[in-house]
Chains A and B, each alone.
Chain A
Amino acid sequence: MNLRTFPPQVEQLARQWRGEVLTSSTWTQVGDVIEHFESEPFFVRSSEGETGLAKPGTVEPPVHQLPRAAHEKIASDLAFDLGLPVPPVLLWSRSGAGPKQQRYASISALAFPRANPWAMAARLSSRLLPRLAAVASAMAVFDSWVANADRQNDGNLLVSEDDSVSPPVLRVAYLDFANSLAYRWGKGERWWKWEEGVACYPDGVPWDVRSMALAIGEIERFPPATLREIVNRIPGSFLSEQHRTAIREGLSYRQSRIRGIMASMYPGIP
């Protein structure tokens, strides 16, 4: 399965970042913190010229309550291995963070230029929705696996119809996994065993049963050792042991249940 349509240089970066956990580059904030977002994100640029969105910018809630940066990194690494369009992520230990700024942040690479949130692209939905069917169906499976509670948000899906390349490419990026994984699972076993799925996004997108079945199969076969590697390598300052255990257990449990979870929402899945 490969539903990633990022430009080649971003894919190259993604391969590199998949092999790393913490950034060793120097990053500089560009512009102001994006106000009135819970996580207070902000754009950053590295000394090597890479660009990204850093978050959370705020210390609230503290990492031991909600490990948002760890969630972003784990989701990005899992999606990379599955061929799903989540931008590459590295963890960022901000040694110069002020008292109200989060020291344990993540940087999500900007997946492509000229990005439009779905809120803007939706006016072209008759043309775009059919072309999003395969990726939206696979992402619904992924969101259900990681229990992403924040998908219904027009700003968390970016699209760009890039006709500067031949043939033109519809570039797609699903963002924001801060409220996934331990967001609920940290409250105990019954939460990761709660077999609730996430619907295809954006609303009205046709359901592609083949793509959904393919994603289910890929997740069912996801190597347990790789899963452990992705979760275990997150430094303790970004992820408490209690949350780490919940994430490992939750992903493992739901891996075996993902077909049933999706079938309860989309009857007809083989």
Chain B
Amino acid sequence: MSLDKVWLSFVDYRPDPATPEKDRIALGCILEARARRSGLFSLAGRVSLTEPELMIMDRIGRETLVHPADFLRQQLREVLDRAGGALSFEQGGALRQLSQVHRWSLYVMPPRLIRIERHLSQNNTQALYSATGQLFIARMLGRDVSLDRTLRAKQIIPEDWRAQVPPAWQIAQSSLSAPMEPRAQR
């Protein structure tokens, strides 16, 4: 698996997409990396939403997004099952498909390429997992992380940011893999 090219999408809920920062709720973060013949997906998402957050939504939103991490995993699984291995990593893979459907109140950001550098104590999968969690914490706290530089997997955010996450914003992390189109011939 390469960490030189990793696709990133944040997932938010925003009641009015034309006023995207008003009442925005960070629901999750998904990273997509390319292994030899498959895609590896690392997900971090809120375990559940609080009552005040749910009250921002309509009934459909409340019922489907009450457990965001589960919902995102299920959405991703559906995209992968539908594609049946026909996704092209070079074109943004599964995240591209997710972002095309979810562009309204539920918003999957169009995937952007990032580069991750693993720590010596990590393998690539661990680095991907660690980066996903840290990027999501930054997103939840509304803090900017420069995505143009290479992200050092153990040091994307300062240590004290984790302590600033309210207990109600518990995070679940998981990973998925799926077959993918062979690499384009160069």
Name A's B-contacting residues (CB within 8 A): 30-32, 34-37, 43-45, 51-53, 110, 113-117, 119-121, 123-124, 128, 154-155, 158-164, 168
Residues of chain B contacted by A45 (CB below 8 angstroms): 18-19
Is B90 in contact with chain A by the CB < 8 A criterion? no
CB pair A115–B64 under 8 Å, yes or no, is no
A39 to chain B, nearest CB (A): 13
CB pair A37–B18 under 8 Å, yes or no, is no
CB pair A43–B18 under 8 Å, yes or no, is yes
Most interface-central of A34, A110, A113 (chain B CB within 10 A): A113
Is B106 in contact with chain A by the CB < 8 A criterion? yes
CB pair A117–B58 under 8 Å, yes or no, is no
CB pair A114–B15 under 8 Å, yes or no, is yes
Most interface-central of B57, B99, B100, B104 (chain A CB within 10 A): B104
A118 to chain B, nearest CB (A): 9
Most interface-central of B16, B18, B59, B101 (chain A CB within 10 A): B18
Residues of chain A contacted by B101 (CB below 8 angstroms): 117, 119-120, 154-155
Q: Which of A37, A113, A123 contacts B15 (CB 8 A)?
A: A113
Residues of chain A contacted by B160 (CB below 8 angstroms): none
CB pair B19–A121 under 8 Å, yes or no, is no
Is B103 in contact with chain A by the CB < 8 A criterion? yes
Q: How far apart are the CA atoms of A163 and B59 in the complex, in Å?
A: 7
Residues of chain A contacted by B17 (CB below 8 angstroms): 30-31, 43, 110, 115
Q: How far apart are the CA atoms of A124 and B101 in the complex, in Å?
A: 17
A13 to chain B, nearest CB (A): 14
CB pair B19–A30 under 8 Å, yes or no, is yes
CB pair B100–A161 under 8 Å, yes or no, is no
Q: Which of A113, A161, A164 contacts B105 (CB 8 A)?
A: A113
What are the 9 A-B residue pairs with the smallest beta carbon separation, nearest first?
A51-B18, A161-B59, A114-B58, A43-B18, A160-B58, A113-B15, A119-B101, A35-B110, A115-B104
CB pair A124–B100 under 8 Å, yes or no, is no
Residues of chain A contacted by B56 (CB below 8 angstroms): 114
Q: Which of A44, A114, A124 contacts B57 (CB 8 A)?
A: A114
